[in-house]
């Protein structure tokens, strides 16, 4: 990485920048969604994922699937697995985005914390899912 210079962006990596922008704008709503899904399912379904192909949709990534992927990429996802293993839903947001045969970790500590985000946003999980999936579709087309 060279600091201070802009490197050309390949079309295969453009989704990463678009996703970063979406997360930055929608931190509160994503934290609310993460907390709402945690209240519904705990960690029984796995880690929240965002499948970007063919249309963005929220899915669950079972821990076993992420571990298997880690093995197939020569353990290059060890840090991701560590973050998932030590996930604290009342404090942070952890999601795995899947796009263009790549993954990207979304990990941040929102202010306020996820439970307060959920209360502040005041929407149910289904409404949040619909709103965020629609917004992400628009961002990626955009």
Among the listed residues 93, 88, 109, the one whose alpha carbon sits nearest the alpha carbon of residue 33: 93
3-state secondary structure of 105: strand
Dihedral sign, Cα of residue 83, residue 89, residue 93, residue 95:
positive
CB 46 within 8 A of CB 37: no
3-state secondary structure of 69: helix
Q: Say whether pTM exceeds 0.85.
A: yes
pLDDT of residue 134: 97
Question: Which pLDDT tens digit goes with each residue over 43-90?
Answer: 899 999 999 989 999 999 998 999 999 899 898 889 999 999 999 999
pLDDT band at 13 (very low <50, low <70, confident <90, very high): confident
State yes or no: pLDDT of 3 exceeds 60: no
**Tokens coding 15:** 């989704």
Q: How many whole angstroms separate alpha carbon 103 and alpha carbon 15? A: 11
């Amino acid at each position: 990485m060279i600091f201070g210079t802009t490197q050309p962006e390949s079309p295969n990596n453009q989704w990463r920048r678009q996703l970063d922008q979406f997360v930055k704008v929608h931190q509160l709503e994503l934290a609310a969604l993460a907390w709402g899904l945690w209240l519904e399912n705990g960690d029984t379904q796995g880690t929240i994922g965002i499948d970007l192909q063919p249309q963005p949709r929220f899915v669950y990534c079972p821990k076993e699937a992420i571990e298997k992927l880690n093995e197939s990429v020569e353990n290059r996802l060890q840090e991701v697995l560590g973050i998932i293993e030590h996930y604290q839903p009342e404090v942070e947001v952890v999601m795995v985005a899947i796009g263009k045969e790549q993954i990207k970790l979304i990990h941040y500590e929102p202010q306020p914390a996820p439970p307060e985000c959920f209360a502040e946003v005041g929407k149910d999980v289904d409404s949040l899912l619909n709103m965020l999936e629609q917004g992400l579709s628009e961002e990626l087309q955009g």
